[in-house]
Amino acid sequence: MHVIVVGADRLGQAVARWLVAGGHEIAIIDSSRTRCIAVDQAFGSVSVLGSSVERSVLAQAGANRAEMLIATDEDDGANLVTCQIAKHRFGVPTTISVVNRSDHVDLFNVLGVDVVVDVPDLILNQIQEGFTSHGITHLKPLPADGMERSLVSIHVPAAYGSDGLRLDAFPFPDGTLPSLVVTRDGVPRLPSGDFKVRAGDEIIAVTTAQGEDELRDLLASGPLA
């Protein structure tokens, strides 16, 4: 499959390396002569020097026979215009674009970019996953009645062991409402006071920002004696 990659920075080159390893034919468009030279040294004569928003440059990259275009430029405007030209002028079946500002995502979707990669959202998700090791994952904000509440996942740490702790003894902060318990075996349970939460269980709850901080401190310090 012939794939055009727009952008020869680290992300573009990483995508190109993955495509080549998969046996695909590539062309890489970049406006930097230095990056094009680096690309040719790494992958052979695959670079096209110029702006991807110019039809002549896309044509030189083989857009008339490309099955996919992947735009990785740091300029969202250039990525969007490139995808539009590729799809509507050259008939490229699949366009994929990174988006560097989350408020641009809806526009990319409305204008028919097939796969939109929200870079800030991906980074935020990675950061949020990092909090999992500290017991809490922020799932979704729940603005209501002027109160800043959130849906969170509380991961019961190994320190709670197999004996566990009764849910009604779990020291939830004020304003925290447990709504579901998913056991470590993947079984959903409605919360009840006599149910014991054990290491590996997950408690889905609604809480405040302060409640999140208190829960994180609580789980880091271990279970009550």
pLDDT at 17: 93
Every domain of the chain and the residues it spans:
2-119, 133-221
The C-alpha atoms of residue 137 and residue 51 are separated, in whole angstroms, by 42
CB 207 within 8 A of CB 177: yes
The secondary structure of 54-79, three-state, reads CHHHHHHCCCCCCCEEEECCCCHHHH
Is the pTM here over 0.75, yes or no? no
pLDDT per position in the chain (225 positions), as tens?
Answer: 999 999 999 999 999 999 999 999 999 999 999 999 999 999 999 999 999 999 999 999 999 999 999 999 999 999 999 999 999 999 999 999 999 999 999 999 999 999 999 988 887 766 665 555 457 777 877 766 666 788 888 888 777 666 778 888 888 888 888 888 898 888 898 888 778 888 888 889 898 888 888 887 777 665 544
pLDDT at 225: 41
The C-alpha atoms of residue 225 and residue 171 are separated, in whole angstroms, by 12
Q: What is the CATH number of domain 133-221?
A: 3.30.70.1450
pLDDT at 224: 47
Report the length, in residues, of the chain.
225
CATH of 2-119, one of 3.40.50.720, 3.40.190.10, 1.10.150.120, 3.40.50.11540: 3.40.50.720
pLDDT at 170: 80
- Bridge partners (DSSP) of residue 154 are 136, 203
